[in-house]
Amino acid sequence: MLPALAAVLASGLAGVGRVTFAASDPAVVAQAAATPDTLVRPLASGSFLARWRQRLSGLPATAVAVSTRQASLAERLFDDPGFPWWLGHQAAILSAPRAPAPAVAADDLLALLEDDWATHAADLAGCGVDAVVRAGVDGDVLGLLVLAPAMRDPLLAALRDAADRAGIGWAEEPEALPR
């Protein structure tokens, strides 16, 4: 992803909520640990079977979940080598800006990387997750599933405003979820 576009998206996301994403890059982990109001916690799957599946799928075993309000840190979700956006292997959750990081298990965050991610995302609505952002095909599209109706308009406005400030065109294409 172009750095300018990553900056626009991170600015919009962090402008309205807390951004939580998987990270494997030691530089990101160090930056997150030194950033105020940012939480870093291990992202180890709970069960042996889930950890084994995680290793077989190529996901890093030493990954962490980073939860932040800082756009410069949230920007790093678009270039993590262990969770490559450009291969569609990255997702982020958004939660209320002043609330603590949502209590989402590693398995739940990693399930957002699966084909049926929208179903898994909907299950997280009760955990304080307001929206989920997901990389699409080749990282060329961004999927956004808003779970808290009150988050929709401010989030889209923040993304649109960040794109306008950067001189980048903006288009929204709503898609209905399958029932």
- State the pLDDT at residue 48: 67
- State the pLDDT at residue 52: 64
What average pLDDT does this structure show over 103-132? 87
Contact yes or no for 122/111 (Cβ under 8 A): no
Q: Which domain holds residue 112?
A: 3-166
Residue 22 maps to a domain? yes
Buried b / exposed e along 48-65 (16+ C-beta atoms within 10 A): eebbeebeeeebbeebbb
Residue 179 maps to a domain? no
**Backbone Cα Rg of the chain:** 15
Angle at 116 between CA 153 and CA 123, to 5 degrees: 60
Number of domains in the chain: 1
Residue 71 maps to a domain? yes
Residue 173 maps to a domain? no
> What percentage of the chain reaches a pLDDT higher than 70?
87
pLDDT in tens, 71-89: 999 999 999 988 889 988 8
- State the pLDDT at residue 47: 64
Stated length of the chain? 179
- State the pLDDT at residue 177: 62
Residue 117 maps to a domain? yes
> What percentage of the chain reaches a pLDDT higher than 90?
40
Q: Picking from 54-58, 148-152, 154-158, which range would have the lowest pLDDT averaged per residue? A: 54-58
Residue 93 or 107, more confident: 93
Give the largest Cα separation in the chain, rounded. 48
- State the pLDDT at residue 143: 87
Residue 175 maps to a domain? no
Residue 136 maps to a domain? yes
Residue 177 maps to a domain? no
- What predicted TM-score, i.e. pTM, was given to this entire model? 0.87
Q: Is residue 172 scored above 90 in pLDDT?
A: no
